[in-house]
Amino acid sequence: MANNKSQKKTVKESIVCFGGGNGITKYLIAWLKKDFRIVATTSMADSGMSTGQLRKDLGVLPPGDLVKQLAAVSDAPDWKIKLWRKRFGREEFLAGHIGHTFGNLYLAGIENITGSFLKALREAELFLELDFHRAYPATVDNVQLCAELENGEVIIGEDEIDEPMTHDPSLKIQRVFLEPKARAFRPLLAEIAKAKIIIFGPSDFYSSLIPCLLPDGISKALVRSRAKKVFIANTVTENGETNGFTIEDFVSILEKYMGCPLDHVIMQDPPALSEMVSKWKKENQNIMGAVTDKGGLDAKKFIKTDIMKSFGEFGYEPQKIKKAVKKLIKSKSAKKS
């Protein structure tokens, strides 16, 4: 707790981070929290694996992505973080995951017993010793993510959109929406209003990032916000979500759901080589190809820089992303006129 209090004296800027899954926690949040106050935000539309099973069994809100973000912004001792992430049980899910994490069981169990997700969130903040940073849901309404495809077919469930099992993944997504409609989490709207910078991604585009923007009130808050809005762009396209997308496609669709323009796009340059994509595809079969652009991009908005790991597993290089974000915050061009 003392470390957090001393941190408050030196950290001034507040950053709201939109996204879900492992990308935003692994490559962004954990690396920025030493220098900025972080408010991590996830969609609450997850429906796969451990989270999906708990939703079906207990009727609770999806804990999975929020559990990851709570761990990322926590300053608790290592043993608590390890326990929070530890898996129990032998139930098998997709992607090789076995059992439920302690964090998933903690949030789901408290909500199931008390009937209050907010009570579960408060107890999690206490257990993980959150003081300075926050991890907030985009909504606390019980929703499912839906996608309308180019042939008019409607897909229900984030898991089916993320990992196509019963529909043709070559069909393009025309729009995504929540069923039923949802209201934004009010504390999140207050954080958007006072943020210095708002970062979108890195995350799966249609199944993790865009759903964060769908609850009523979020796009209006983004329009009103004077914060600089930055997209850490996807480096590769994915089967069933963004196959064939250029950087212009990603940006135009994100801005449509935001309701306002981005100020900056941090994008990989040079684009990933075909042999690198082939190697990464062995780790994730949904990867299709490198994201490229049509040319003639505004250099002030589209910041081309190397943000990927040079070797090892597929992924962003956290230090490179952190450097690019800090440079934006410090530069005169990142200040509101």
Side-chain-side CA neighbours of 106 within 13 Å: the count stands at: 25
Q: Which alpha helices (DSSP H) does the chain contain, by range?
A: 2-10, 21-24, 30-32, 49-58, 64-73, 78-85, 102-114, 117-127, 158-162, 186-194, 218-224, 247-258, 274-283, 318-330
Name the 3-class secondary structure at 300. coil
Average pLDDT of the chain to the nearest whole number: 90
Comparing 44-53, 103-112, 306-315, the range with the smallest average pLDDT is 306-315
pLDDT at residue 332 greater than cutoff 60: no
DSSP assigned state of 149:
E
Q: DSSP secondary structure string, 32-58?
A: HTTTSEEEEEE-S---SHHHHHHHHHH
Query: How far is 27 from 72, CA to CA, in rounded Å?
Result: 10
Query: How far is 55 from 296, CA to CA, in rounded Å?
Result: 46
Identify the structural domains of the chain with CATH numbers, from first to last.
2-45+135-331 (3.40.50.10680)
Instruction: Give the pLDDT confidence score for residue 2 in this predicted structure.
Output: 40
Q: DSSP secondary structure string, 67-108?
A: HHHHHHH----HHHHHHHH-EEEEEE-GGG-EEEEHHHHHHH
Instruction: Give the pLDDT confidence score for residue 10 in this predicted structure.
Output: 56
Query: How far is 62 from 251, CA to CA, in rounded Å?
Result: 28
In this prediction, residues 5-34 reach a mean pLDDT of: 79
Name the 3-class secondary structure at 333. helix
pLDDT at residue 335 greater than cutoff 50: no
Task: Name the pLDDT band for 283 (thresholds 50, 70, 90).
Answer: confident
Cα 166 versus chain centre, distance? 25
Q: What is the pLDDT of residues 170-199, one digit of tens each?
A: 999 999 999 999 999 999 999 999 999 999
Percentage of the residues of the chain whose pLDDT score is greater than 70: 93
DSSP assigned state of 16:
E
Instruction: Give the pLDDT confidence score for residue 337 in this predicted structure.
Output: 38
Task: Name the pLDDT band for 3 (thresholds 50, 70, 90).
Answer: very low
